[in-house]
Amino acid sequence: MSHIEKEKLVRPRSRIVHKYALFIGILVTSALVVSGLLEIYFSYQENKAALQLIQREKAVSAANAIEKFVKNVEAQIGWTMHAAFLAPNDMIAHRQVDFVRLLRQAPEITEITYLDEAGREQLMVSRRSIDQVRSGKDRSEEENFQMSDANIKHYSKVYFRRGA
């Protein structure tokens, strides 16, 4: 066999080897890309679930802190209600002393108002404005008065004043 005939036999073999190498390379690369994409997808789903769990735990913690805060404020206000058992003449003066003490002990409360059954303002003690005694201001049309009931707790909207 001559050198030219040997070359003719080697060329077809090398083309087949190149085709197989290319095919195997594409197959391996495709498998690696698909595997990588699947790993990214499942990793994303796991991270998303972990973040949701952390957010849920933080939300529960915040809700517990808020509930504790509200119960504390509720307890602070609760001890001012015993003046209702006094004579009407002594009640306003006694409530005023209790409300001033409440504002000193509970810095989160900036204003407290006592309304009579008709919705007329009998006493308002505030950190930011002048106290009002028996002003008689009609507040019966306000949502807080209309929503209140002697046997049901009602929480008004929270108001922020000057970032406080």
Question: How many angstroms separate the CA atoms of 75 and 72, rounded?
Answer: 5
The chain-wide mean pLDDT, for the chain, equals: 78
pTM of the model: 0.56
The answer to whether 149 and 134 have CB atoms below 8 angstroms apart is no
pLDDT of res. 96: 76
pLDDT in tens, 1-59: 555 555 555 555 667 888 888 999 999 999 999 999 999 999 999 999 999 999 999 99
pLDDT tens readout for residues 136-157: 777 777 777 666 766 666 666 7
In this predicted model, which residue has the larger pLDDT, 23 or 122?
23
pLDDT of residue 151: 62
Query: Residues 6 or more apart from 76 whose CB is under 8 A from it?
Result: 102, 105, 106, 109
Separation CA 163–CA 84 (nearest Å): 34
pLDDT at 115: 74
Residue 80 has pLDDT above 90, yes or no: no
Return the pLDDT at 120. 76
